Amino acid sequence: MLKLIKEVLRVGEATLPYPFEPIEQMPGFRGKPHHDPEQCIACAACAIACPPNALNITTDLDQGFQTWSLFMGRCIYCGRCEEVCPTGAITLSPDFELAVMNKQDLYERADYKLASCRICGTYFAPIKEIEYAAALLRQSGMSADALADTLSLLEVCPECKRKNDVPKMVSLFQKEGSDVQR
C-alpha cells in the first residue's frame, strides 16, 4: 500500500488540462481531410478510393455541373484520398476537433463546370480535368501535329468519339487493304 501511495505521489497529476489548453498531436497524425478547391480537377479518383463513401461525386448533366462533396460524419481518416489525388488537392490535416451543433456543418461541397462536346453539345467532363489532361499532353514531348490532333479529341465526348471511330477505321482498312484480315 505504501508503495502505491509513493508511486501515486511520484507521478503527480497525469490528467492534461485539455480542452482548456491545446493538446499536442504526434507528427503524421491523420485528421480531417483538407480540400483545396482551386487545385481539385473533379476527376473523382478520391470518391472511388474512399472506403466509407465519405467522398462523393455527383454529375448534373442538365445544368452542366459536377459536384464534389465530403461528409465528415462518415470519414475514417484513412487518407486514401490523399494517396490517389493526382493534383495534391486533398491533404490530411491534424485537425481532430470536429464537433458541430448542426449536422449540415459536417458537409463540404464544391461545384465544377462541365465541358460540352464540340460535336453534339452534351456535357461530358469537368473543364478543369480536360485542361489538366491537355497540360500533361503538352509536356509529353509529342510532335506538334500529333499533339494538335490529340488535343482536338479532348473536346469530344466519348459517344461522339465512338461514332467518329467507325469511319476512321473504315478509311484505315481501305488504305491498308490487303494487310488487314477481316
Partner 1 sequence: MTVLTEEKPKVGGKYIEALRARFGNLILDESWQAPDQVTVTVPLNSLPDVVEMLYYQQGGWLATVVANDERPLNGQFAIYYVLSVEGLGDDSETGGKVYVAVHAQIPPHQPEFPSVTPKVPAAVWYEREVRDMFGLQPVGLPDERRLVLPDDWPDNLHPLRKDSMDYRYRPEPTTEDENYDFINVEGEGIVQVPLGPLHMTSDEPGHFRLYVDGEYIVDADYRLFYVHRGMEKLAESRLNYDQVTFLADRICGICGYAHNVAYSNSVERALGIEVPARAQFIRTILLEVERLHSHLLNLGLACHFVGFDTGFMQFFRVREKAMKMAEMLTGSRKTYGVNLIGGVRRDILKEQRTTTLQLLKELRAQATTLVNMFLETPNIVQRTQNIGRLEPQVARDYSPVGPTLRGSGFARDIRVLHPYCAYDRVPWKVVSKDGCDILSRTLIRAEEFFESVSMVERCLDEMPEGPVLTEGFAYQPYKFALGYVEAPRGEDIHWSMLGDNQKIYRWKCRASSYNNWPALRYMLRGNTISDAPLIVASIDPCYSCTERVTVVDVRKKKATIVPYKEMERYCIERKGSPLK
Work out how close the CB of 154 gets to partner 1 at its nearest, in angstroms, rounded to a whole number. Answer: 28
Applying CB under 8 A, which part among 49-57, 103-111, 135-143, 156-164 lies near partner 1? Answer: 49-57
CA distance 106 to 97: 12
What residues numbered 92-131 form the site for partner 1, per CB under 8 A? Answer: 92
3 contacts partner 1 (rule: CB under 8 A): yes
Whose Cβ is closer to partner 1: residue 22's or residue 51's?
51
Among 60, 83, 105, 159, binds partner 1 (CB under 8 A): 83
Q: How many CA atoms lie within 13 A of 31 on its CB side?
A: 12
Q: Minimum distance from CB of 72 to partner 1 (Å)?
A: 16
Output the nine-digit C-alpha cell for 167. 469511319
- Partners of residue 60 on adjacent β-strands: 65
**What's the Cα-to-Cα distance from 85 to each of 76, 81, 113, 145, rounded to whole Å?**
17, 6, 19, 31
Among 23, 61, 76, 172, binds partner 1 (CB under 8 A): 76
CB-based contacts of 151: which residues, under 8 Å, 6+ apart? Answer: 134, 137
Nearest approach in angstroms of CB 138 to partner 1 is 29
Under the criterion CB under 8 A, does residue 172 sit at the interface with partner 1?
Answer: no
Contact flag: residue 182 with partner 1 (CB under 8 A): no
**169: helix, strand or coil:** helix
